[in-house]
Amino acid sequence: MTLKAPLAVLAVLAGLHFATTLAQSPSASCSNSQPLVGASNAPRSYDGSVGVYNTPWMSPPPASYNSGAGKCITWQYTPATAGNIYFSTCGLTSDDTVLVASTGTCTNDFGETMILMLDDTSGCQFQTILNFEATAGTRYFLHMCTYASYYLDPSTAVKLTSGQFMFDFQCPAGMTDHDSLVETACISCTGVQGIYAPVDSRGACSTLLCPAGTSDDDSSSLTPCVACGPGTDTSSPGKYGLCTNFNVPAGKYDHDSNSATSALTCPAGNYAPAAGILCTPCATGSWDHDGSSATACVSCASECVAGYYESPGCTPTTNRACATCTAVTSCAASSTTCTSPTTSRCSTCLANFYKVAGPSSDTCEACAAACTTGTFETADCTATSNRVCTACTAISDCDATVSCTSTSNGRCSACASGHYLVPGSTSAQDACAVCETCGVGTFESQACTHATNRNCTHCTPLENCAQVSCTDTTDSVCVQCHAGSFYNTTSQACHACVECASNEFEAIACTFLTDRSCSACANVTNCASVTCTSLDDSICGSCTSTTYMSPNATAGDDEQCLPCAPVAGCAHANVVCTTATDSRCNAAASSADPTVIIVVVVLAALLLIVVLVVLLVKRRQHRRSQPRFVAQPKDSVKDSAGPIYQEAVQMTVSPLNHSTRPEREEDHAVVGQQQPDPLYQALSTDAKEVVYDYASAYVPGSNSRRIREGLTIVKHLASGNFGDVALGQLSFSVLSPRAQTLLGPTASETVQVAVKSLKSDADEKSRKDFESEAKLMAPFVHTNVVRLLAALVESEPHLVLLEFVQYGDLHSLLKKSKLHSLWWTQNEQIHAIRQIALGMEYLGTLHFVHRDLAARNCLVGKGMVVKIADFGLSRELASENDYYRMQTRGKLPVKWMAPETMTFRKFSSMSDVWSFGVTAWECFTYGAPPYGKMDGRDTLAHVEAGGRLPQPKYCSPDLYRLMLGCWDMSPEKRSTFAQLTKALKNFDDETTIRDIGAML
């Protein structure tokens, strides 16, 4: 569109021209124009083909102009009520138009009066808005025409094509377009309260409610609703009347000072006055007496007096109430205060009571009674403290209650058994001292009582006896001979042991019960003088004149003397030498009569043959007398990591070079043997411990026959070195008084015994060893050592009767416990190893070294009594500080042996302590093999390098330290059995010891 600036002027001129034209033009009718009906305020479409009317400014049109230019489209509309007519193309798709409104009759195609003609407005460029007030019943013509500039161009014939326009009739204030149709009348909202109907209202009057937060204060729909202020509640629309009519009631409050939102209820314990905007809590000391926030809070009751407490206290919702304090027993009157039922405090207790301040409440406790025996008073009863009685200081080994007046003047009225009283002074304790123990060689001449110590008197000495035993001065018995002597059981006297010659060695050591036995050294060819320490280490001291000492000679070598090199022209018998290169002829010998020489040589040769034959016979007899290795039965004990018993010689360090010839089985004397697995029965532990002379175990003559005839073999148990072990039974009455005393009282006339029998084809050496073991066991009278009941050796077969211990060896019991998941308590394990220590301590007092202490060699009986058995390797020591040096080869339990026993073949009580540590380790590992799969050499190397058995999984550190104390490389630094038994007693927690053997 062009010529926008003069548009307003054009509208005015056109109006004038339109009025003039009406006066000049002939009348024409536009009553057939299309009426406007339908939805109000909605877009409508038009089509230019209906544009048949000329524009006002083209009437009549100049002849020179295009006849189709300047056409308009006309509609008619008659409002039913007064209001505003709205006619516009603004914002819609349309041609470039001018809108014209007119009224009156149709003259020259337009109404006779033009009301308004408008082109573009500043708010709607290139389009038009026509808006004017209309009266009810007046017909209005609304024209949409092409813009005037188009007809000035005669080359165009412009007319309207198509587009949209908006037509609306807007109701006046107080009325509303109830149905949104332009052809119907607006309805009046007069008389409807709580609404506001401004110009152009639509919908029913009831939908024009005053919004929340406002009110129709004059009840007129013509005036706007007024906003209500804070303290009112017009949260629902359609309110009418003054805003004060909608004040928030007491008990509620305008929480956000906004009338459009609902008032909130003020909870109990607060006060909210009418038209209020706050909900105020009751002030301190006041409360909501009626539970309604619509009324003011009132003051609480007065504060509680002494002896009472607030229950409940004064709060915004509760009044103060006073309740009586909980009474404190034995509290003086008017002395109780509290803040709750559980916080009573007492300022003063009654007499003979004292206050105890608890965390919340006090109590009045009665003072303790006067101190009793065993205590003394150190603090009196006061208002705040009790009487204190302090225990008297304990007196060790006192069996009575100690009395005292201080901690340092205790008095004992009865010492424990085995102790006597040492009275103290006024400021010193009494003491109970251990009564003296009568040692070997003494007897008790005055008993130990509470008042007196035990007196010990020396036994009457016996000739040639180093140590005697007795019960008075008239019954002395020899128990130890002087060094180099042995006790002859036949003569009952000590005799000097045999001394070995220079060419002999000690085969059996000189002990208390055994004379020294000497054997000749093995002959060395061409040797004039031989010395040795065993059958296999002969050393030549000097060779014969015709031989010399080999520089490579080693002990036991048969070729230590080599023949001299021949000398030309000299008879062999006359050749002498000291080395292989200095042979020379003995002139004196050469000048002798040849006949004499021949005779001498022949005689010497015959003599040499005789000597060699004799030596050969003796050597063969000697070898036959040595015990051979006995194959173990299939059910004998095995070491899972290899043989338990290994050749001791393989781990022996000797200052001599040994021959490299292969070792032979017959060259080794088997010193130890596997302990069979007999089932044993426990002895009664009530039997009185009595020391018996070993000789009383041997049963001679008719008594022996009675026992043999009454003995019944129940079943075979195992086989060992000497023979067999069987379970036997016999009448209690046929046993000797000694054996009956050892077994103690029995409810059965028949008793079970373990019977060891010597093999019928045993050689003399085996017979002696069999009898030697019996002699060793004869003196043993201890609960924790297997006891010998009888030795039947006066005739074949040789038998030894031992107490029967029914659960078998400890190692098997441990393995069986693990198999059945029957786990021992620590106290049960300590109980077992302490009994072993007690038995070993006893053997030490008799100067015996066991040499084969292990779990397999300890038997377990009823009540879990553990007994030491298998004395096949045991030896008697001259004294506790002596040691036994093994002289012969033999198989030994190397994994249980101390280092000095493997290296130097040196045994003592301290080497038994080492074995005890390994046995204890077995107990805590349920019979695991020591050192795993190591062989003997590896075990020794491991130990000498500082290695030790590891701590068992369920063994406490303290018990493991006790084991380590048994494994010191220095024997003198190891614990003694006396120390071990005392230490193990301290571990006893006094819990029940189950009879595990019976459970399995």
Close Cβ partners of 508 (under 8 Å, ≥ 6 residues apart): 514, 515, 516, 517
pLDDT of residue 516: 86
**Would residue 232 be called left, alpha or beta, if left means φ above 0 and alpha means ψ between -120 and 50 degrees?**
beta
Q: In the chain, pLDDT over 70 holds for what percent of residues? A: 78
The answer, yes or no, to whether residue 683 has pLDDT greater than 60, is: no
Within 533-591, residue ranges assigned H as helices are 587-590
Instruction: Give the pLDDT confidence of 506-517 residue by residue, as tens digits.
Output: 878 887 767 888
Instruction: Using alpha carbons, list the distances in angstroms from residue 731 to 119, 179, 302, 755.
Output: 152, 135, 101, 14
How far is 593 from 306, CA to CA, in rounded Å?
A: 148
How far is 285 from 316, CA to CA, in rounded Å?
A: 8
Going by pLDDT thresholds of 50, 70 and 90, the confidence category of residue 699 is low
pLDDT of residue 618: 63
pLDDT of residue 209: 93
Instruction: Give the pLDDT confidence of 501-542 residue by residue, as tens digits.
Output: 988 988 788 877 678 888 888 888 889 899 998 878 889 988
pLDDT of residue 698: 57
The answer, yes or no, to whether residue 33 has pLDDT greater than 90, is: no
Instruction: Using alpha carbons, list the distances in angstroms from residue 14 to 22, 26, 158.
Output: 12, 18, 19
Structural domains in the chain, CATH included, are 7-170 (2.60.120.380), 336-366 (no CATH), 393-458 (no CATH), 465-496 (no CATH), 528-617 (no CATH), 644-671+809-1000 (1.10.510.10), 683-804 (3.30.200.20)
pLDDT of residue 684: 30
Instruction: Give the pLDDT confidence of 341-400 residue by residue, as tens digits.
Output: 988 999 899 988 999 998 989 999 999 888 988 899 888 899 889 999 999 999 999 999
pLDDT of residue 397: 92
pLDDT of residue 878: 42
Instruction: Give the pLDDT confidence of 979-997 residue by residue, as tens digits.
Output: 999 999 999 998 999 999 9
Q: What DSSP state is assigned to residue 926?
A: T
pLDDT of residue 733: 86
**Mean pLDDT on 212-238:** 92
**Judging by beta carbons within 10 Å of its beta carbon (0-12, 13-18, 19+), is residue 76 exposed, middle or buried?**
middle
The answer, yes or no, to whether residue 154 has pLDDT greater than 60, is: no
The answer, yes or no, to whether residue 664 has pLDDT greater than 50, is: no
Tell me whether strands 493-496 and 504-508 are parallel, antiparallel or unpaired: unpaired
**Mean pLDDT on 832-845:** 95
Q: What DSSP state is assigned to residue 572?
A: G
**Judging by beta carbons within 10 Å of its beta carbon (0-12, 13-18, 19+), is residue 785 exposed, middle or buried?**
buried
Could you count the other beta carbons within 10 Å of the beta carbon of residue 762? 18
Instruction: Give the pLDDT confidence of 168-211 residue by residue, as tens digits.
Output: 999 999 999 999 999 999 999 998 999 999 999 999 999 999 99
How far is 302 from 322, CA to CA, in rounded Å?
A: 9
Chain-centroid distance of CA 362 in Å reads 42
Could you count the other beta carbons within 10 Å of the beta carbon of residue 439? 10
Residue 175 has which token pair? 């009325």
Going by pLDDT thresholds of 50, 70 and 90, the confidence category of residue 588 is low
Q: Nearest 5°: phi and psi at 231?
A: 90, 0
Closest CA to 402 of 776, 410, 668, 231: 410
Close Cβ partners of 477 (under 8 Å, ≥ 6 residues apart): 468, 469, 470, 693
Of 191-205, 457-471, 572-586, 877-891, give the lowest mean pLDDT range. 877-891
Closest CA to 100 of 2, 3, 15: 15
Residue 912 has which token pair? 């038994």
Q: 651 or 621, which is more confident?
A: 621
The answer, yes or no, to whether residue 65 has pLDDT greater than 50, is: no
How far is 456 from 232, CA to CA, in rounded Å?
A: 119
The answer, yes or no, to whether residue 1 has pLDDT greater than 80, is: no
Could you count the other beta carbons within 10 Å of the beta carbon of residue 957? 8
Q: What DSSP state is assigned to residue 463?
A: T
Instruction: Give the pLDDT confidence of 447-469 residue by residue, as tens digits.
Output: 899 889 999 998 888 887 888 77
Going by pLDDT thresholds of 50, 70 and 90, the confidence category of residue 603 is confident
How far is 56 from 159, CA to CA, in rounded Å?
A: 15
Residue 700 has which token pair? 């001679």
The answer, yes or no, to whether residue 28 has pLDDT greater than 90, is: no
Q: 185 or 668, which is more confident?
A: 185
pLDDT of residue 863: 93
Q: Give the residue numbers marked as catalytic.
A: 852
Of 149-153, 613-617, 640-644, 694-698, give the lowest mean pLDDT range. 640-644
Mean per-residue pLDDT of the chain: 80
Instruction: Give the pLDDT confidence of 731-752 residue by residue, as tens digits.
Output: 888 888 888 888 887 657 889 9
pLDDT of residue 958: 92
Q: In the chain, what is the straight-line distance between the N-terminal and C-terminal CA atoms, in Å?
A: 123
Q: E strands, 564-632, where?
A: 575-576, 584-585
Residue 932 has which token pair? 């795993």
